[in-house]
Structure 1
Amino acid sequence: MRAGQDDQLTWLQQYVGALAAIVLAFALCETALAQATRVKPPVPTGVDPGGIAIALIATGIDYTHPEIKDRLARDGEGEVIGYDLIDNDNRPYAATSLPENHDGAVDTLLARRILSTYRHARLVPVRVDPNDKVMLARALAFTATTPARIVAVPLWGESRETWEFFQQAADQVPDHLLILPAGNADAVAQGRAQFPAALNLKGALIVAAVNETTERGTLARPGAPRIDALMLGRGGSWFPGIVPTAADATEAVALAAGLAACTQHGKAPLGAQELREQLLALAVRKEGPRETPVLDPLCLYGGTRY
């Protein structure tokens, strides 16, 4: 019996040791993730690139990325026009080396989508905590102090309370075109309210990806939520392989923002409502009983891609 007890004790010690090693590994990963999030590199030096400004209110971007660093909006002294409302500085950073499902990495991709849709855009990045209702409103108020009049907000949730102050802030910036996601495609198809889209902001453009919307029959459902425009999905563009396309509502926001800026190329600044109307007039077709416009994010004039 003694030998059997010793074997059991040895097995138990090995099991506890292995479990402790797993817990330690998870703790180290969390620590590394936290450190990667906290360590913020300096903004690369540069000058304002000019062009139409687009604000991106999100969870932070990697502003050192080669596709982004030269397209950051800057003031006359070369300081970036952007803000981190979490850390209260002008470095709205999130590392792209984090796992793909981390918000920061996703938002860097969205920034690149904006800039690849309209190559003359300049970016005004704003970092927020998407669950902080005061911060969301402050972010929108901050954009009013910048050159941006197109504001991409690729965030959503199911809590109206989180977005109430944002709604009040939106009322104060009627000259801004707010581009918002319809929300989670499954939730929208099931009729669950998604905010801020469900606030029905008058001056906003609510967008979704055409594939994930039509596949779920969302547009044909009685009482379907408001969707103002659909962005072509992967493989749906008239110019596949050249034009970026939307996989979901967040990418639809980015592409719609770039296309909105493209609509103003070489023109006098447009008011938010006029810009919204001109953008919707670019529809390549319409879907569903409401004839929802479908937009191809191709920025092309006179044979030249902008």
Structure 2
Amino acid sequence: MTDVEGVAQPPAADATVPAFWQGLGLPGLADVHTHFLPPRLLRKVWAYFDAAGPLVGTEWPIRYRWSDAERVAHLHRLGVRAFTALAYPHRPGMAEALNRWTLEFARATPRCLPSATFYPEPEAARYVTEALAAGARVFKVHVQVGGFLPTDPALDAVWGLLADAGVPVVVHAGHAPVGTAHTGPEPFAALLARHPGLTAIVAHLGAPDYPAFLDLAETYDRVRLDTTMAFTSFFERFMPFPAGELPRLRELGLAGKVLLGSDFPNIPYPYVEQLAGLAALDLGDDWLRAVCWESAAALFDLT
């Protein structure tokens, strides 16, 4: 899967994904942005995508509309050695129950990183503390869906807890796919100014404000970005990554600051397209190795 110049060739189908990472000399893939949700909530999320709801804004057919067991088995077949069960509430009173479900899911599911979430509400610091004690290794916050600013005062203690614990938070902070008053680089930059030690992973490379989020990853030692949906034909149609920023993306990737994310199963194309899009950038095998495994392995102490 590697040409004479040492750049892995884009894989063509899900069945070829293992050959892709094996050709890079990797033990597998680490995907920091996958979703598993309680069945009732998952059905509602899929119905929202089916209806191209206001925060989706475009036709978005779910590719992997399978059971939990089938989706886990597919990730295992692909060689994904570590993945997440990212959940996120859209109103108060949801997060604590979501945490119980996602943490139990991880306990019962090989290779799933124990995942949790929170919402700006009085109980947040308590149940985040409890989730950390229960072994949560990654959190997810979706300010677009949740409809709140990351600097909401109700979350100040939570961000402090997570910064002190060094536990990563995957933050959907960018405007993609539909911007709101709570999204964009400015609110996220304000959060980092308050909590510069926060270990954050910016979802979707911060699309569409890629340069501004690259700036933040360069400025703050613990800020990283995930590749979720970037460089796929679906995403490039309406939020193309600027070619002039590829050198910076390469440097950040080699520095351990760009991690593989996919949004599986809520994607309108095969999983392989995420990897094919990354390989087609021709940023080199070292970059692909860092993005697809090594950087997440270092962050989460994977073996």
Q: TM-score range by the shorter chain?
A: 0.3 to 0.5
Larger Rg: 1
**Which one has the bigger helix percentage?**
2
Report 1 or 2 for greater relative contact order, CA contacts < 8 Å, sequence distance ≥ 6. 2
TM-score if structure 1 supplies the norm length?
0.38
